[in-house]
Amino acid sequence: MVTIHTTSGKRGALTVDFPQQEQDLITGQKPSDHCAVVGVISNEQAYGYLVSSLKSLQHRGQESAGIAAYDGSMMKLKKGMGLVSDVFNEKENPISGNVGIGHTRYSTMGTKTLENAGPFVVSSASGYLAISHNGEITNAEQLSEELKKRGATFSTSSDTEVMLMELSKEIAENGVANGMKIAMSKLKGAYSAAFMIDDRLFAIRDPMGIRPLILGKTGNTYVVASESCVMDVLGGETIRDVLPGEVVEITPIGPKRILIASSRVEAHCMFEYVYFARPDSIIDNIEVFETRIKLGRVLADESMVEADVVIPVPDSGRAQALGYSQRSGIVYSEGLIKNRYSGRTFIMPSQVQRTASIKMKLNAIRSVVEGKRIILVDDSIVRGNTMRHIVMLLRKAGATEVHVRIGSPEIIAPCYFGVDMKTKDQFIARGKTNQEITEEIGADSLAYISIDGLVKSIGMPKQNLCLSCLTGEYPVNIPGEKYLYQKDLTNY
């Protein structure tokens, strides 16, 4: 057992179980989302629901997993590095309690250590507070300095701990509803969170609604989760999305709104629809799979080329390739096979190993490819290494032409809202012409969907989407970057 820090605790230390396994995790070829969050309140044990929910959200983070639950007198916490199934076993219940939250992480802020893994728990004057957070607080450094001046101490480099300490301070001084309102007016950036005060469970979403968050129900168990696919897995139903700027308390008889921002400018992450979210999820009333099919259709409208077969990059380009095939009338076929047992690219500790791992991961099917003009479809290109390798694979297998079609516009700018695209020089499309990128990946032609085509496919008003990594204009003030809205968005 390890004791974690307390603030002005009204109770003793927490019990925390940290398995001693850590890995050097390295970013892979696709951008990764920050985290998944889940919260459960039930008349049964919350643990099994939490583990199943986290497993169905594993795509949002594979670095660590954690669960905190309140058993009537204590807040218990267990977390570890690795997949949910590495850390938790549904058959055992090491964390009793009817109310709990869970988290899986892929870090974009703070170091990749167990201390920075969620959930975060603190014993405060208001009781035990626990939080699971998806997103990124863009003013975390400034807030942590202010909190330190007022006597707060931090035991990690995570922005989530800053968010928790801010909530802790304001709730202790101003009560639950007012405290949250004040804290949220100070927090900038992206945050969808499951939050607990002892046995009370809350869902919190930032005023721009950058990351998804839904409420659901299965029997007498209420759930808050990053994506609606959780409710299908649990055999329940989605009640609704948590609205941008909303705080909902999830009670044993259902959700109850605590507060909502009086003004908000929505900026839903376009990448959730393009790549991050599970295709079977519905985010802000828009189905992810259907959106990806539409992206493929619009891509075909915008950049048709004569070819014999449409081939997806597995698994990320499948729905877009299907849409492209439907609209173009060109036959769809799997032409690349993915080795599911080759290990995760992102944990490979060197570029050499990562390159070898990519080779191990994909192979071309000669009978589909040989002598054919191919349209190769993927959802996005960030660095371009994988795409270059795939084009080469197809040529080696006998493709006569390879035309690359991408279901998102050129990514040219960093994300500050919880996605691991941080440095400007990593983007293959930044500062290059289409011809230069085409040559770099070795294709015969390359086309990205337009921003208007992307917006049309998602079907949400353009001003309600975050497109910052495509435009370099941000909906919050980021030092050194263009500020899109020129006004404070977090009015409560």
| Contact residues: ligand SF4, CB under 6 A | 210, 269-271, 415, 417, 419, 466-469
466 among known catalytic residues: no
Q: Which letter, b or e, does each residue of 228-265 get, where b requires 16 or more Cβ atoms within 10 Å of its Cβ? A: bbbbbbbebebbebbbbbbbbbbeeeebeebbbbeebb
Least distance from C-beta 285 to ligand SF4, angstroms?
Answer: 18
Least distance from C-beta 33 to ligand SF4, angstroms?
Answer: 8
State which residue, 38 or 419, has the beta carbon closest to ligand SF4. 419
Torsion of CA 342, 343, 346, 352, to 10 degrees: -50
Paired tokens of 252: 């044993």
Least distance from C-beta 417 to ligand SF4, angstroms?
Answer: 4
Paired tokens of 7: 């603030």
Q: Residue type for 150, please?
A: R
State which residue, 390 or 469, has the beta carbon closest to ligand SF4. 469
State which residue, 65 or 270, has the beta carbon closest to ligand SF4. 270
* β-bridge partners, 22: none
State which residue, 161 or 420, has the beta carbon closest to ligand SF4. 420
Question: Cα separation of 242 and 239, whole Å?
Answer: 9
H helices of 313-418, in order, are 318-328, 351-361, 366-369, 385-396
Torsion of CA 172, 174, 177, 183, to 10 degrees: -80
Least distance from C-beta 467 to ligand SF4, angstroms?
Answer: 6
Which residues have CB under 8 Å from 48's CB, separation 6+? 90, 93
State which residue, 75 or 415, has the beta carbon closest to ligand SF4. 415
Q: Are 390 and 402 in contact (CB under 8 A)?
A: no
Q: Residue type for 232, please?
A: D
Which residues have CB under 8 Å from 65's CB, separation 6+? 54, 79, 80, 82, 83, 84, 86, 87, 88, 102, 103, 104, 105, 117
Paired tokens of 116: 């920075």
Question: Cα separation of 212 and 205, whole Å?
Answer: 8
Residue of 480, 491, 483, 474 whose CA lies nearest to 210: 474
Question: Cα separation of 87 and 115, whole Å?
Answer: 15
Pairing of strands 64-70, 75-81: antiparallel
Among the listed residues 35, 269, 415, 466, the single catalytic one is: 35
Q: Are 348 and 354 in contact (CB under 8 A)?
A: yes
State which residue, 63 or 206, has the beta carbon closest to ligand SF4. 206
Paired tokens of 224: 């808050």
State which residue, 164 or 208, has the beta carbon closest to ligand SF4. 208
Least distance from C-beta 469 to ligand SF4, angstroms?
Answer: 3
Paired tokens of 91: 């058959």
State which residue, 181 or 292, has the beta carbon closest to ligand SF4. 292
Least distance from C-beta 428 to ligand SF4, angstroms?
Answer: 16
Helix (H) or strand (E) holding 186: helix 176-186
Residue tagged 């605590």 (tokens): 258
Least distance from C-beta 25 to ligand SF4, angstroms?
Answer: 20
Least distance from C-beta 289 to ligand SF4, angstroms?
Answer: 19
Helix (H) or strand (E) holding 336: strand 336-338
List, by residue number, the catalytic residues.
35
